[in-house]
Chain A
């Protein structure tokens, strides 16, 4: 299994997370609770595939062995994917989907806000462009969390169940990581030291409005996207997403 340099791994973490989150949104096509939400989910999904492509293109340049964004997206196995475990979790009901979206959006928002000031111009440019989109994503998912949390008894219960189902995967959003600290020290990216508190503050704020309880600090072991130790859901997702590229390796689409 190929391990790339730390900055490339970091770019893949961003690109893979965006792509897998978008793939889950695609699964909602024709099944959303309202036509407005069909549009909303596709809209967010489109932004995320676009972001994934930008991160992949930069990663591909760094890898510099003839790979490209499509090869990175469609020809790697699950152990090579660096996406957050959170985004590969199944959609469940609209509450699970929106809870995942919100946790992810809040993470993206704070991370991209930090990265837009990166010295690396490529990272700064992609982060700046993506952030404009993510501000809207976070507003939308925050509003839904609030509506569903503080809506009816049923919607509140569904939200509590949803949070319970995915909370443990948020550990990856708040953990401090040695590789990223090293990247910050060498000046490749700005320091991400503040990110965990910022993410948690956003969750606290929105959950308070939504009358939802923030669980205790999450913990997990063994599983980690950084080493490609995914849940079983990712393999199936990739089997579907990568089908054509895998079945017809010589094809041009």
Chain B
């Protein structure tokens, strides 16, 4: 999940009877699974919530390139280099695509990016963890993209048309990344040396819990969930999605021959789900507050990229203006 703890600005979900005619028509459309399009009437808070959610998602795609940039210059073979470069390129594309979906709501890409850089907008907490060995490139693909997909597959049915369509396209590429990531790990486990197997287990140990945190706090601690669910911006609760992710991931973990750093992780026959240990939410909130291991570096890199590139963008605009004048004069 690339959007966490999105504010809805709403204290209590209204019933249809409490709504004015416009809002009632809007909610009835949503209830009937009819997509809301850019030009349709929508409540202000729905618009603002979506802008927050989609921009967070877009920021996450862009910031998410940085942990991979840490290894793309060190990819071990030409094939792995090509795969990682293609993944990074896809992510830049997803970022652009999502910013466009967000702009259909009247938001401005540069303004939203500025909010990110000044710390007023969030991005997925997972990208604030360092990537410390090559297996992280596999584990990020498998676990992080895997967790993102669980959320995004559901978001393909989200109520806002442009967002839903963006998700459909993005999901296809994400599932490719996930399989590729898993294959990196599987190859190391099946054909690798002991040192490589240790890398894989180490990567899983470090990324397991942060991946589970990607789904956000448990339902009881998610004050915005009810409204987002009523708007069908969100379609399942955080806990439901987290459970789904764990249930599908543990068998894959077993095929790898690796373990999760959770002694309480075990199949519960009665529930038909895996039980798992307590998530350390203090860590999650610290990372969200900006105190994670790499928050500072990630934001600084992004800020520098935009600042250092200002003269390039200015030159492009100046040149385009010159061209336009020349054409007008001709």
Contact = CB atoms under 8 A, between A and B. Distances in A.
A244 B135 CA distance: 11
A50 interface: yes
Nearest to A56: B78
A26 B85 contact: yes
A64 interface: no
B77 A253 contact: yes
A33 B313 contact: yes
Given A34-B313, A35-B62, A241-B74, A42 B85 contact: yes
Interface residues of B, number: 52
Interface string B269-291: 00000000000000000000000
Interface string A136-166: 0000000000111011101100100000000
A150 B86 CA distance: 32
B17 to A, nearest CB: 45
Contact of B92 (A39, A70, A146): A39
Contacts of B308: 31, 33, 93-94
Interface string B54-79: 00000000110110110011111110
A39 B187 contact: no
Interface string A17-50: 0000011001101111111111100110110011
B100 to A, nearest CB: 11
Contact of A152 (B99, B196, B304, B318): B318
A152 B65 contact: no
Interface string B162-200: 000000000000000000000010011001110110000
Contacts of B88: 29, 38, 42
B315 A29 contact: no
Interface in B236-273: none
Contacts of A74: 76-77
B312 A253 contact: no
Nearest to B311: A154
Contacts of B72: 26, 29
A116 to B, nearest CB: 23
A152 B73 contact: no
A253 B80 contact: yes
The binding surface of chain A is classed by DSSP as helix
Given A30-B69, A36-B96, A42-B85, A243 B74 contact: yes
A29 B65 contact: yes
B296 interface: no
A98 to B, nearest CB: 9
B292 interface: no
A22 B190 CA distance: 30
A39 B96 contact: yes
Interface of chain B, main secondary structure: helix
A152 B301 contact: no
Contact of B89 (A46, A158, A253): A46
A69 interface: yes
B111 interface: no
B82 interface: yes
Contacts of B96: 35-36, 39
With most chain B CB atoms within 10 A of its CB, the pick from A35, A36, A146, A152 is A35
Contacts of A148: 312, 315, 319
A152 B315 contact: yes
Interface centre among B96, B99, B187 (most CB of A within 10 A): B96
Interface string A161-195: 00000000000000000000000000000000000
B109 to A, nearest CB: 9
A234 interface: no
B13 interface: no
Contacts of B319: 146-148, 150-151
B76 A30 contact: no
Nearest to A45: B85
Interface in B291-330: 301-302, 304-306, 308-316, 318-320, 322
Given A151-B318, A155-B312, A252-B196, 5 more contacts: A29-B65, A33-B309, A155-B318, A251-B193, A253-B76
Interface of B: 62-63, 65-66, 68-69, 72-78, 80-82, 85-86, 88-89, 92-93, 95-96, 99, 134, 184, 187-188, 191-193, 195-196, 301-302, 304-306, 308-316, 318-320, 322
28 contacts: A22-B85, A26-B73, A26-B81, A30-B62, A30-B63, A30-B66, A30-B69, A30-B302, A30-B305, A31-B304, A33-B308, A33-B309, A33-B313, A37-B312, A38-B88, A43-B89, A46-B82, A49-B78, A69-B78, A93-B308, A94-B309, A152-B311, A154-B311, A155-B311, A240-B74, A243-B74, A251-B76, A253-B184
